Chains A and B, each alone.
Chain A
Amino acid sequence: MLKDTHASEVEAILAHYPADQKRSAAMPLLYLAQRAYGHLTSAAIEEVAGLIDVSSTQVGSLVGFYTLYHDHPGGKVRMQICTDLPCALRGAEVFAKAVCTNLGIRVGETTPDGWITVEEVTCLAGCDKAPLFQVQDADGIHYREGQTVETAMAWIDELRRSRTDG
């Protein structure tokens, strides 16, 4: 349970909000649960709901509404490529297609080895450094900007090498 395994983090999150407004902690606690469990199972949702005294239906609705929460398992790493208009004008759609071809998957799919899920996302506020993608994994979310197909594939190879114990 998070309140045992991540006690100090749960406490720190709750301390950001007035004592009678614990519901505000729902989103940060969902992030914590997602990082701890990989994705948000119904048990994880119930656990978060219990920490802030709201129904699991209410917490579950957040998981469906916000795109950075996942109720299904994906690859160890989610590679989220922006293909919105400003990035598309600078080649992001071609980039996304080429990355997928190299990985042998389509957008939304996970590589057979379970490593990479490729997703298309809306604007990441990095339009001047397109093509770019963000990496969502157990560590959080990090940007990789100014990419080419070659740099992206080299990063994926390096990732697989360095985290083979993952």
Chain B
Amino acid sequence: MAEHILLRHRDIPDIDQLDAYLAHGGFEALRQTLTTKSPAEVIDIVKASGLRGRGGAGFPTGVKWSFLTPDVFPRYVVVNADESEPGTFKDREIMERNPYQFLEGVALCAFAAQARAAYIYCRGEFWDLAHRLEERIAELETRGFLGRNLFGSAFSLEMHVHLGAGAYICGEETALLESLEGALGQPRLRPPFPAAKGLYGQPTVVNNVETLANLPPILARGADWYRTIGTPQSPGPKVFSLSGHIERPGNYELPLGTTFRTLIFEHGGGIPGGRGVKAILPAGASAPLLLGSDEVLDTPMDYESVPKVGSMLGSASIIVMDDSVDIAWVALKTSRFFKHESCGKCTPCREGTYWMLNVLERLHAGGGTPADIDLLGSVAQGIQGKCLCPLGEFAILPVLSGIERFRQDFATHTGNGR
């Protein structure tokens, strides 16, 4: 991509300074929107752009906003900046390096939602980043870009940063709201969805950082321009976080629909030592493992195509594993993660992740039998479809796909595969 739309600091290094951001058109989208458009018009533009949530679910953003219960106030905007999926580090770069575009996006979202207060929920580990954001918010208030009657309009907005304290589950939007209300980060039963009853029981929009960073360019340049990037069903640019066995790990902003091969070999520089790609996790730990086959490598990374080869795009955190990796060890690592991060509310997830890890540890300790592989599958199926939130569902995906697509790696640990 010739021009960065989300990672603009790659083109304009000092865009993390307010004056530089303003010199490059910063806050013009907000000014124009507040002085010439209605909230309903903004929602229509975002719907027309085809922007889909970048946190993982890929749900159309404008449609999500239109679910807000009409005529009930106050409303809230809550930003999901709890970026915790293994392999995902895109929101952090956006907030650190291109922070004003993100904050302008929060303000545009709040205007569309007719919210007067926005909370940015940052994971606790982003301590330095969160305190820097607080300073920037204070600066925006001083300079008249946040506060009362912005740009002479009737719209007023305050923003607050709230720090989490180390819980992956708070990336799930209802758990995040519980945490923001000072409770344990445990998911709520839905419905009601946050658009009806969210923060403090009021209509609430919860959006991911990257999603919001898309709003200033969409409002500045229009939905038709936005749709020239990406695919018809998955429009726009995406920040792909590339990690694992790769020459040049990092974030890459590319159009949705770019193939795995282009990302891994053209941008990421390929696999160290020229080794082969054995497996890919395309959405962090929360997706089925893909084979490193030509079919997979030539698959476009968008919300429709990745499911066709048996996984999902999610937050687009691409973890690459070379041909030296034991997939049973990968399953052990992801299971340890999910067992640690299960919030404990739903029994199938709390107990199931414990027993999956238990069986995997037994296999790795050399005490496993061939029956353990089927036992592992059976425990995983006992979690499937039985929990309030997707964490349990995610936990079983690398395990079941690992057994299905790389069974030999598990068999090796039972003494049968050698």
Contact = CB atoms under 8 A, between A and B. Distances in A.
Interface string B157-170: 00010111111100
Interface of A: 16-18, 21, 23-28, 30-31, 52, 54, 58, 61-62, 65-69, 84-86, 88-90, 121-130, 134, 140-143
Interface string B137-181: 000000000000000000000001011111110000000000111
A89 B277 CA distance: 13
A67 B337 contact: no
B128 A141 contact: yes
Contact of B242 (A28, A61, A69, A128): A128
Interface stretch (B57-65, B79-87, B376-384): B79-87
A112 to B, nearest CB: 27
B165 A66 contact: yes
Please report whether the interface of chain A is mostly helix, strand, loop or mixed according to DSSP. mixed
Contact of B167 (A58, A66, A142): A66
Contacts of A88: 333
Contacts of B83: 125
Given A24-B181, A27-B179, A86 B162 contact: no
Contact of A125 (B84, B165, B250): B84
Contact of A16 (B162, B167, B181, B249): B162
Contacts of A67: 165-167
B14 to A, nearest CB: 22
A28 B162 contact: yes
A123 B337 contact: yes
A141 B124 contact: yes
Nearest to A17: B160
A27 B184 CA distance: 10
A50 B58 CA distance: 42
A68 B165 contact: yes
Contacts of A129: 249
Interface string B317-352: 101010001000010011001001101000000000
